[in-house]
A and B are shown apart, each in its own frame.
Chain A
Amino acid sequence: MTVELDVFSGRPNPAWKLSPAESAKLAEMLKDIPPSQMVGAEGGLGYRGFVLSNPERAAGLPTRIRIYNGMVIVDEESSPRSYRDTHGVERALLRQASERGYGEILKALLPAENQPF
């Protein structure tokens, strides 16, 4: 499973692979989150959350999930399904991005109250 920090427009986004243990932890966090009627925003130039690519369907998760602005969007079908991020998945991924060396990017793009530092 690959996590992409969706921030760039021209350059390829920063991305990293999750270990089986990290994938399992993420799957646990995504379990039983409530569905939402809202259509999740994709975001513009700058921070647009995270994209999980999971072609091998590791940990039983869908192949493509977007996490942004308090929403979790399962994006693998023609009509995406929306959920509310009530378990702090985005926050956890922000922390993970910072630990992987992308803290300066997040510092430049996110308001202070949303920074995982």
Chain B
Amino acid sequence: MIVTLDAYSGAPNPWWELAEKDAKQLIDRLAHRALDEPSVVDGILGYRGLIVEARSDDQLPEGMPSSFRISGPLPKEYKRPESKEAALSMNEADETARFLLNTGREHLDEGLFPFIEEATRMRAQAPAAERAVEDKEALKLATVVAPCVIHNTPYNPGFWNRPNVQPYNNCYNYSMNWRSDTFAQPGRISGHQWTAINCSNVGAAANWDGCRTTCLGSNKNVALVIAPGPGFIDYHWYRRHSQGFWGHKPGGTAARNIDNAGRLIDGVHLTPANCNRGPYTIFCGYRFSPTGMHVR
């Protein structure tokens, strides 16, 4: 999940990625609460809260929006849509903002913290709240690496099939489960982008990004195929889901779990018998994409 501090006017706002442990804490804090859209904010100069945005389709539980704003000053005329779920109180929102800000200490100028505290205090017209317990917890960013854990996630096409996401993310984004909005290319984020379309070149470029042919730690199953030409030369990726079937996203079109013949891509293995791949006739093999892998 990406957190953006909305405070600047000319300079770009700083952003950072939440560690998995912090993301879980955030979800626990905000479960079953009504959250404000990122666009709901009073356009004042200065601190305007934090924007949280999911970058992959398994990061937020069902019912939670894929992006929202925390602790932003609301426009005076704004009325929250009716919801069964309770909105955060100002105090809860500010505490959550403090927790988030603490996760971004490495990315933020130290001088920002007192400025934000003061802005929060002025707005709340109340004494500054005590530091959240989670602040201390957030600093313990232990990562446990298991020998090999397959962690395929549920099929969630709704995350991808939205007008502001679908055209800008391709099969590589989908299979590695990372929304970059850049039509990601194997190797680009690591500075080793593919130079030819064949199994070894595209596979090696993806390896530079973190993809592997052997399983180590927490991974999802992915597979690479190639359209070898003549005439039509391209690559394509699939990702296996926790329900057992495979999903994919042909270019800028919708994410789906059906093949070129309209059949559910079911089965442990992708074979021509259970997956019509059209012109992508070369099967390069199965690979392991580490949980949380990024692409660009």
Contact = CB atoms under 8 A, between A and B. Distances in A.
Interface of A: 6-13, 42-46, 48, 51, 78, 104-105, 107-109
B200 interface: no
Shortest 3 CB-CB contacts between residues of A and residues of B: A108-B231, A45-B278, A108-B232
Contacts of A107: 231
Chain B interface mostly helix, strand, loop or mixed?
loop
Contacts of A109: 231-232, 279
Q: Which of A6, A43, A44, A48 has the most CB of B within 10 A?
A: A44
Interface residues of B, number: 32
B68 interface: no
Contacts of A6: 251-253
A43 B232 CA distance: 16
Contacts, number: 76
Nearest to A11: B234
Given A13-B251, A44-B250, A45-B278, 5 more contacts: A7-B234, A7-B251, A9-B236, A104-B231, A108-B232
Contacts of B250: 9, 43-45, 48
B172 A46 contact: no
B157 to A, nearest CB: 12
Nearest to B230: A108
Contact of B171 (A10, A12, A42, A48): A10
A10 B279 contact: no
A7 B170 CA distance: 12
Contact of B254 (A11, A42, A78, A105): A42
A109 B280 CA distance: 11
Given A44-B260, A109-B279, A104 B230 contact: yes
Contacts of A44: 250, 258-260, 278
Interface string B205-238: 0000000000000000000000101111011110
A43 B253 contact: yes
Interface of B: 163, 170-172, 183, 185-186, 197, 202, 227, 229-232, 234-237, 248-254, 258-260, 277-280
A9 B232 contact: no
Nearest to A13: B251
17 contacts: A6-B252, A6-B253, A7-B234, A7-B251, A10-B237, A10-B251, A11-B234, A13-B252, A42-B253, A43-B253, A45-B250, A45-B277, A48-B250, A48-B253, A78-B163, A108-B232, A109-B231
A94 to B, nearest CB: 14
A51 B183 CA distance: 16
A7 to B, nearest CB: 7
Contact of B260 (A8, A10, A45, A51): A45
